[in-house]
Amino acid sequence: MKKTNHFFLMTVALFFTTVIMAQSTVTGVVIDAELNSPLPGANIVEKGTANGISSDFDGKFTLETEASSGEIVISYVGYNSVTVSFNGNTHIESIKLTPDNSLDEIVITGTGVIDLAENRNTPIAVSTIKAVEIQEKAGNWDLPEILKSTPSVQNIKGGGFGDGQMFLRGFDQTNTAFMLNGQPINSPEDGRMFWSNWSGVLDVANAVQVQRGLGSSKLAISSVGGTVNIVTKTVDRRERGFFQQMIANDNYTKTTAYYSTGLMENGWAFSGMLGHWQGDGYVNDTDGQGQTYFLSFGYKPNENNLFNFLITGAPQWHAAAGSGSISDFLENGRKYNSWNYEGVSSSNLLQSGKYPAGRNVYHKPVANLSWDLTINENSSLSTVLYGSLGRGTFAFVIDDSDDIPLYARGSNNNHNWYGLVSNYNNQLNENLSLNFGADVRLYNGIHFRSVNEFLSVNSVSASSVFNGGDYELTKVFGGINPWDLTFNVNDEHNQRFGYDYEEQINYLGVFGQLEYAKDNFTAFFQGSASTQSHVRTEYLNASNEGQSEESNKVNNPGFNVKAGGAYIINSNHKVFVNTGYYSRQPFHSDLFLNDRNGNELIMPEVENQKITGLEAGYQFGSEKVSANLNIYYTIWDNRTLLDDNGEDQGDPAFRLFQTQGVKQIHSGIELEVFTRPMDNLRVNGFLAIGDWKFDGDGLRRTFDEAGTITDPGTLVNLDGVKVGGAAQFTTGVFTSYEFLPRLSVDGTWNLYNDLYSQGETTVSSPPIELPSYDTVDLGLSYRWLVGENDKNSLQFRVNINNAFDEVYIESINGNTAASTNPSENYKGVNTSNRGRFGYGRTWNFSMRFNF
């Protein structure tokens, strides 16, 4: 009886407490749909109220609601939100959240520095590739291959590992800005990108966002074609990891392991990745190998501060491949390597694979320290301090008249690069936000030739004024291993020859953005101003023994302004327009008459490039279909164009052409469509039509192989000449179908047309049009749930690229017109032109254990 009374009293008390405190109780468990594991830290909010809680470590929650019935919204950063109804006390056994295509707040360090499109109300022309898609499609490819189904993007694979090139709206990657967590990574000397230096970045990428055209970046960067933001993992919210093994064509193998503690109760977080790859290469004699490492340490002492230190690198070496004439490829096959010429490959030493056609060796460790400070509910400050120490060489065998290898000559390109990016953000009022900051870059480039390995001799003779005349090279620094190059650096000028110089490029910029948003209208204004200085220091060919010579300092101010607006017609329709103007400083390589052997500046001086952009867009969104339509018009004026004659276009003498005052006009239209006809079926497509051509004349100078000017200037007519390198018409379709739970198949079809050659071209000697081609890629994925409560998974993925083994010319550097003799042509192209064929059918298979 006593127990009954106690039970009765407790029941009555609980009843009245519930009536007073809440109308009902909703409980449940939040699950990561992909990993089938609890999702701690998910937000559960009663719809229409501020009443909410977070799920615990096991994904569980209990929410006392303010109403007796209604809906709760479950959300988590980087996942699709789910809305669930309740009526009275309700228990929901499993609420599964799936990753979405949003990048909003997915990166929790350096958020104010990394300019992602979704951080701004006014839209731009943008495409985003999320971690899941990168993981499936990356395989053994570099980033440009993953982006090839993005409008106005074309990937050129090149010959060896990491030698690929990317074009965006017809602009090569020297004029597309690449960012790693807010850090510019294009070379300050000439804007180039070397994908072999970033071979492992896709393994730790949360997302890659391609901002075409003006983009949302506030930094004054080389974004003529657009901006590519690579966003890596930093601090995971929860513990996770994976182990992956991959094999592929031509004896390729790759092993990768990753682990993250997640953000622990003491505020610390750690994540790390290690990987190793090696393979023979698709092209003959292009073997390579390398490692990848990534370490991230995060610390969140309180709600207002978050620190993260990150270091990553990809030490590697790979043998190179040269272009060849079309007739050479037709005779020897698509895997032909023109650089593996008979005189060198005849050596027993070289047949061992050590130097089949020259070896590219590089290690570029990059470190950054970020601090995110929340000052108050309306303002925050983000700062990233970064640095990199690049050490590398291109090693090539020098032999005598009897083809006996003497030594390996290294052309070394080293650098020390430090920078700081800081951004302050303030929500001034309900409609107006302001942010501004600073961008500092200090770059020291170091270039010289050296002996990287003695083969059949013990010393090499050299001569220079700086070293007191004749001297002997007797030491080897770094050798041909990337780790040795990093820790055993050649810093002795009397062990260098051929050329020996440095440059100091310092950059200081300030930037700001003001954005207004009210009701259905948004508008923004961005601006930046900068100054960039250049000093070149000559050692080898200095005038006096033991004394270096510095050039006059060149200071170039620059600026850019961008503005735009958008109007939301209704929940399904949005339109926008953006415009901008850049006054961009010339590259260091454009300033000096001969960058290898002298400090003489080009006269008249190279002036800033002038870029004007105008773009407009329309966005449509519904439950099953979304689409983006963009039009653009870009004027790129006063650029400097560098071309060579391909060494063997009927003239074996190498010549370099530098053309100043060049104007290009790039216009086009882009369409992206995303559909989900059924829950287990996705069909996406894109169409990009461009019109890219030169306008007016240019002043062309000619240099020989030694860098000596042979023609001080000839006016050439470029008006109406097509811009080569990338197809001006591209289209593609991607489809994915899950025909069984966690078992899916996908396919991608891409078509390339209106493609022209690169190289020395004028109105009287125009580029040649290459034949169109299309490729089909296929993939199969399966995820097997394993472990207690299916918390872990084992993923299998197969990719078959160019599944139908399409034979196509990928690129041509030359403009020899088709012959009147049909036997001298291939699909309408003269077979004497030099270039490369695309890869045939390739494949990769990976097995990944997620825990």
C-alpha dihedral, 56 to 60 to 66 to 71, nearest 10°:
120
Contact status, residue 277 vs residue 283, Cβ threshold 8 Å: no
Cα Rg of the chain, angstroms: 29
> What is the pLDDT at residue 15?
41
pLDDT, block means (10 residues), the chain with 851 residues: 48 43 80 70 82 80 89 77 87 80 47 69 82 80 87 88 91 89 87 85 84 82 82 78 95 95 90 94 91 93 92 91 89 85 39 62 93 93 94 87 82 95 93 93 95 90 92 88 90 94 95 92 94 94 90 92 93 92 89 72 81 94 88 93 57 68 95 89 95 92 72 87 95 93 93 92 90 96 83 91 96 90 93 93 95 89
Domain with CATH 2.60.40.1120 in the chain: 2-97
Give the SS3 label for residue 722: strand
> 């291959």: which residue's tokens?
145
> What is the pLDDT at residue 36?
64
* Helix (DSSP H) and strand (DSSP E) numbers for the chain: 7, 52
- Tell me the fold of 240-850: Maltoporin; Chain A (2.40.170)
- Tell me the fold of 117-232: Ferric Hydroxamate Uptake Protein; Chain A, domain 1 (2.170.130)
> What is the pLDDT at residue 845?
97
Domain with CATH 2.170.130.10 in the chain: 117-232
What is the secondary structure of 68-105 as a DSSP string? Answer: SEEEEEEE-TTB--EEEEEESSEEEEEEEE-B-S--TT
- Cα–Cα separations (whole angstroms), residue 335 to 196, 279, 797: 20, 15, 26
Beta pairing partners, 442 = 418, 506
> What is the pLDDT at residue 119?
65
H/E element, 532: strand 521-538
Cα–Cα distance for residue pair 687/627, rounded to 1 Å: 11
- The correct CATH number of 2-97 out of 3.40.140.10, 3.40.50.720, 2.40.50.140, 2.60.40.1120 is 2.60.40.1120
Contact status, residue 694 vs residue 719, Cβ threshold 8 Å: yes
Residue 454 CB neighbours (<10 A) = 16
Half-sphere exposure for 268 (CA within 13 Å, toward CB) = 3
Q: Which two tokens stand for residue 262?
A: 């997640």
> What is the pLDDT at residue 103?
44
> What is the pLDDT at residue 3?
47
